[in-house]
Amino acid sequence: MVEFFIFLLLLLLALLGLSETICVFVNWLLKPKCQAQKYLLIFLTKGFAEQQLLQATENLNWRGNIVANRILAYVGDIDAEEKEMLSRRFEYNKNIVFTDVVQIKGI
């Protein structure tokens, strides 16, 4: 009987993945009471900005706040016409912040 339970435990760990189980457990132990705000910074490319932003929003919708809470989209490299189209297309999505300026110190 004990061998059966050990076999089931090993089978469960094999299905879930031992490393994933350890990762979830450690993250659960280290989880702070107040989560930090996380932003996904993407640099949009001229001509592909809408597809890139759609992919980033789908990623955010699928994974939730594990990856990020909001998307910070750098639109400095695209033209005004495409910026206007993006702002109209994503005007109701409050999780996207468009910016022309990004300052990252230490890089």
pLDDT at 54: 93
- pLDDT tens for residues 25-82? 898 888 888 888 888 899 999 999 999 999 999 988 888 777 888 999 999 889 889 9
Phi, psi of 98, deg, nearest 5: -90, 135
83 vs 74: CA distance, rounded Å: 10
Report the alpha-carbon angle 93-94-98, nearest 5.
90
Pick from 103, 54, 55: which is nearest to 76 by CA? 103
Residue 9: which pLDDT band, with cuts at 50, 70 and 90? confident
Secondary element (H or E) of residue 98? strand 96-99
Q: What sign for the dihedral angle of Cα 66, 82, 45, 101?
A: negative
